[in-house]
Amino acid sequence: MRYSALALLRGALTGQRHWTPAWRDPEPKPAYDTLIVGGGGHGLATAYYLAKEHGITNVAVLEKSHIGSGNVGRNTTIIRSNYLLPANTHFYEKSLQLWEGLEQDINFNAMVSQRGVLNLYHSDAQRDAYARRGNAMRLAGVDAELLDAAAVRAMVPGLDMDNARFPVKGGLLQRRGGTVRHDAVAWGYARAADQRGVDILQNCEVTGIDIAQGRVVGVQTARGPIRARRIGLAAAGNSSRVAALAGLRLPIESHVLQAFVSEGVKPVLDTVVTFGAGHFYVSQSDKGGLVFGGDIDGFNSYAQRGSLPVVHDVMESAVALFPAFSRLRVLRQWGGVMDMSMDGSPIIGTTPIAGLFLNCGWCYGGFKATPASGWCFAHTIATGAPHPLNAAFTLDRFRTGAVIDEKGAGATPNLH
Amino acid sequence: MRLPCPCCGVRGNEEFTYLGPAGLVRPAPDATEDAWHAFMHERENLAGNHRELWWHGQGCRAWIVVTRDVRTHRIEHAELARDPEAAR
């Protein structure tokens, strides 16, 4: 069924009885050409682009829980491509371009809203760093504008511009950045992949990876064994656990990141704002709630809940930046398990095991990457070699030293 | 989450700084690239008990080795890192 305004109108006249499930719930087949382990945004996008770009439709996505239960339904929905290092700039710009055409492509309203992403700076040194990053972006063909304090004041009323400790001196604005309805991304990709013949197998946890003579031949799952010659792992926070089934030890630590939503209020913030003196980012959803977050908790965790010191820290940042927010109540708070890599950049590529491909290390920046991650991973799986856009994101770069460390923090997963 | 410091008793985790997994042994300077890669980057990172190093910077300033279930934050054990059995 194709979604359109006309179909909606026609449904209105017939009691809306035309709705069908957005995707099938098939039984697992004994064998597929390609398996994707992990039915999050990246796994579903990979399956979709495998079918669309490469004509590989005998594909199953194996999800241990239900679609939308992991980080694709747990993030703060921000999209942007304001990175400094060339590999990241080009990759995330591809992602932003795919976001711009996504809804028409998958025939699903993902509420892509290019409301801008504004990174605030609070000192001369930070302005110089932002100017450098903005120039790097513009050289790569990405939009960036450096705003002074007056322009920020006019754009975002409510900011504590003249804070005694961290006055706002200006900001780096990417107007094409913004937010996307995160659940719709999972549902939209699931539906679009399903329509092209991909089987989405929920409650199908992978419990073993079968390897014969150095190449993958299939997996053991909660719903029985499934054979396949190509397997892509896109298990986010559980990547180390899944890779261990194939005997791999990854440069990944799992950490918990929290996010928060306030009670709904009238429109107060029409862009995405990030605090340059702490780690804090906030936007307002169409429902009216402020959606915001900060740092990861900082210690290894597989628990999808956070601890109180970080809650405290995030609230302090919120109130330091927008004093009026102190009157709001926080409605919901939750945590997701992040695959923190050793250089803060992702891994999309091949592994030492033939037929086994790896997609992980998203470091709580994975949502914005969803389309390009799926697009590049599909290319890598279909052709057996990375696309130029993800050629730098190899698993091997940690061994060779060609790391992509945007922050310059070194091999410290809890500090990226 | 609260951590049982062997010196100070049970304290909130905001008093501590986290380093990472315990038991990683720095290779000799002339060790192979593989050994350095394993030490620097490769982590077991499984869901279960995890031995890890915390520094009680806002307390007794001792390094402690905590064994914690990373799924539930239940603390199995905590000992001073300088104790010989903690070096395992």
CB A97 within 8 A of CB A89: no
Assign A117 a pLDDT band (cuts: 50, 70, 90): very high
Say whether pLDDT at B39 is over 70: yes
Q: What is the mean pLDDT of chain A?
A: 96
Rounded to whole angstroms, the Cα distance separating A34 from A47 reads 9
Residue among A249, A253, A303 minimizing CB distance to B71 = A303
DSSP state at residue B22 = S
Residue carrying structure tokens 């559980």: A238
For residue range A291-322, list pLDDT tens digits in order: 999 999 999 999 998 999 999 999 999 999 99
For the complex shown, is ipTM > 0.85?
Answer: yes
Contacts of B12 in chain A (CB under 8 A): 308-309
Asked if B13's CB is within 8 angstroms of A254's CB, the reply is: no
For residue range A164-188, list pLDDT tens digits in order: 999 999 999 999 999 999 999 999 9
Rounded to whole angstroms, the Cα distance separating A114 from A349 reads 30
In this prediction, residue A327 carries a pLDDT of 95
In this prediction, residue B84 carries a pLDDT of 67
For residue range A76-89, list pLDDT tens digits in order: 999 999 999 999 99
For residue range A181-211, list pLDDT tens digits in order: 999 999 999 999 999 999 999 999 999 999 9
Measured in angstroms, the CA of B78 and the nearest CA of chain A are apart by: 16
Say whether pLDDT at A95 is over 60: yes
Say whether pLDDT at B50 is over 70: yes
Rounded to whole angstroms, the Cα distance separating A416 from A319 reads 24
In this prediction, residue B83 carries a pLDDT of 80
Residue carrying structure tokens 């993800």: A390
In this prediction, residue A104 carries a pLDDT of 97
In this prediction, residue B88 carries a pLDDT of 54
Q: Is the pTM value of this prediction over 0.90?
A: yes
Assign A55 a pLDDT band (cuts: 50, 70, 90): very high
* Residues 1-30 (B) with a CB less than 8 A from some CB of A: 1, 12-14, 18, 20-21
In this prediction, residue A400 carries a pLDDT of 94
What is the DSSP track for B27-71? PPTT--HHHHHHHHT-----SSEEEEEEE-TTTT--EEEEEEETT
Asked if A251's CB is within 8 angstroms of B43's CB, the reply is: yes
**How many other C-beta atoms are found inside a 10 Å radius of the C-beta of residue A411?**
19
Assign A1 a pLDDT band (cuts: 50, 70, 90): confident
Asked if A309's CB is within 8 angstroms of B50's CB, the reply is: no
Say whether pLDDT at A9 is over 60: yes
